[in-house]
Structures are given as structure tokens and as C-alpha cells.
A = this chain, B = another copy of it.
Amino acid sequence: MTPYEPKKFALPALEGISPKSVEEHIALYEGYVKNFNVITATVADLLKDSEKNAHALSELTRRRSFEFDGMRLHELYFSQFENGVMPMGSGSPLSLALDAQYGGPERAITQIKAVAMMRGPGWSILYFDPQNKQFQIGFAGEQHQGHFVTLPIILALDVWEHAYLLDYGALGKAKYVDAFFANLNWSVIENRFSGTQRG
């Protein structure tokens, strides 16, 4: 397999999320890319004697999604900040669809924030199901537990401790969640939604 390459993000200064926190967070992201590539290469190597290595192959295979999802989710996360704050367009297709399902974007955001406050490391995620044209708001544990399978992601909010501990302390998740929403470039998020409306 072709290894994955870590992406670079055009990040502005963020309000309420410090440069040091972002720097360490990016380093963690790059760790996911690196470890996914290493485990994938290890699996390929062990496959040369798949019978002898059956148990190791199984457990490395089981773990690949932890690294892959850590990679992919952080790419969705950081790109939401690229090029600076931009509000959701009133009357944009995303805004209209959130309005139709939740009675207004603000009410969807309130639910995403509530899910972000769930206990344990993970992600609060807004998915969209193209099959029945509805959003789903979910909590994914760590990187890889409990995703809505196959659904595209519209918005991804990291609530591992590394996302907020430096800036707000171990009990400061709520403040970080507010800071996250204050920094979003909604045009990126609107583009993701538009991408689900084609084909």
C-alpha cells in the first residue's frame, strides 16, 4: 500500500485555543498517520507467514481503525479552522437542512455541544445520511468506537483531554467547546454538506 502522508493545515491564530495546544495536537495527529503506516506495513510483513503469525495479524488488524480514524478525524477537525472564522450562511443549504430537522442551526449546535460533554475521550460528530436525507448526531469513543458506519461527516469536534487540558484544565471542557465553535470556518462545513447532495 501507498503510505498516507500527513497533511498541512493553513491555521490562523485561534481564539481561546493556544498555539502550544495546537502545536501538540498537530504532533498527535502526525502520530496517527505514522502509526497507521507502520501497523499497515507490519501486517503486510506478517502476511508472508500468515499461519504462524495469525494472532498478531488479528490484533494488528483489529487496531488499524484506531489509527486510521485518528488520522481522518483530525484532518476533518483542523480543516474546520482553516482560513479563519466564517459564519454559517443564513439560507445556505446546510442552514436550511438543519432548520428543517432541528428547528434551527442553533438547536443542532446545542445538541452537538451536549454530546461533546459526555464523559470519556472521543468525538461529538454531525453525520449526514444521504439515504434518508437526515443528520445523525453521535458520540464516537476514542477514535474508533461507535461511528455511524459509511456516513459522511459534516462536523467533527474532538473532546479528548489533549484538546482542552493545557488551556482550560481537566475540568474545562465546556469552555473549550465554546472556543471551538467560536473559531469555525462554516464555509468548510457547508462544503462538506453540499458534497453529500450530489450524485
**Partner-B contacts on A (CB < 8 A):** 1-2, 4, 24-25, 27-28, 35, 38-39, 42, 46-47, 50, 54-69, 72-73, 101, 111, 114-115, 118-121, 132, 134, 136-153, 160-162, 165-166, 169-171, 195, 198-199
Contacts and interface: CB of A to CB of B under 8 A. Distances in A.
Nearest to A64: B138
Contacts of A24: 169-171
A3 to B, nearest CB: 9
Say how many copies of this protein the assembly contains: 4
30 contacts: A24-B169, A24-B170, A24-B171, A27-B171, A28-B170, A35-B55, A35-B119, A39-B55, A42-B55, A54-B114, A55-B63, A58-B118, A58-B119, A58-B139, A59-B60, A59-B62, A61-B137, A62-B63, A65-B138, A65-B147, A68-B136, A68-B149, A72-B150, A120-B142, A121-B160, A145-B145, A147-B147, A150-B151, A160-B161, A195-B199
A101 B147 contact: no
Contacts of A101: 1
A136 B199 contact: no
Q: Please name the 9 residue pairs, one residue from A and one from B, whose CB atoms are nearest each other, closest first.
A: A59-B59, A161-B161, A24-B170, A56-B56, A65-B146, A69-B149, A58-B118, A165-B165, A162-B170
A124 to B, nearest CB: 9
Nearest to A28: B170
Given A142-B121, A149-B72, A150-B151, A170 B38 contact: no
Given A58-B139, A59-B62, A121-B160, 10 more contacts: A28-B171, A47-B111, A59-B60, A66-B119, A68-B149, A121-B142, A140-B149, A161-B165, A165-B166, A198-B199
Contacts of A61: 115, 118, 137-139
